[in-house]
Amino acid sequence: MATAVPVERDAVARALPGPAVETPRPGTVLHRFPDDGPDLLAAGVGPALAAASTAAALTAAALDGAPYGLVVSTGIAGGFAPEAPVGSLVVADEITAADLGAETADGFLPVTDLGFGTVTHHPPAGLVRAVAAATGARPGTVLTGSTVTGTAERAALLRARHPRALAEAMEGFGVAEAAAAHGVPVLELRAVSNPVGPRDRAAWRIGDALTALTDAFGKLTPLFTSWNPHER
């Protein structure tokens, strides 16, 4: 499970039986849990560092002869009102890079329209449904951006381009790219800490979102244990 920062990692860890053991990996440190529990990774902020850290962990696991069967990108996020209010959970059925492409005189073009690359990864549909049922998370598109939205105009533009978007974060697409390179399925689960739009720190509810993460993963451990990683 990959978060951006340690406080998110620790929120997930509170739902797991501990204690965790710190295990060095190239450029990062895993928190490993006993009894075949998950590994947690504070992968860093932004899609590039998240991809690099996740890829390092995946490569190390494969070289150890114990490859992962699932990668989960998780943490807090901005939510698009009114569908994803503060304190709610969102599970991605599409993980989409919101700003990977080119600006043209006719508007933004994703790299796929330029003839190369990818901008969207699709988590296993059955797993998305199971997570939504277990946690109450709403399924939809989670956008990844290198720059978070800070204006109403930008929020409206993103919703126009991505009508199914429920949340915006900075790591999911990078984590998904690393997982795809290793042929491992990916999931993204986010707790909403603030509305997408003008930056209003007084409206942020980071503590509530972290508590929602802990509660969610308390319900998901049995599901991840029983899920068939060969589902695509």
Residue 178 — very low, low, confident or very high, per pLDDT cuts 50/70/90? very high
Asked if residues 196 and 79 have their Cβ atoms less than 8 Å apart, the reply is yes
> pLDDT digits over 39-65, tens only?
999 999 999 999 999 999 999 999 999
pLDDT tens per residue across span 157-167: 999 999 999 99
Residue with tokens 């939205």: 149
Q: Give me the residue label for tokens 């996740």.
A: 54
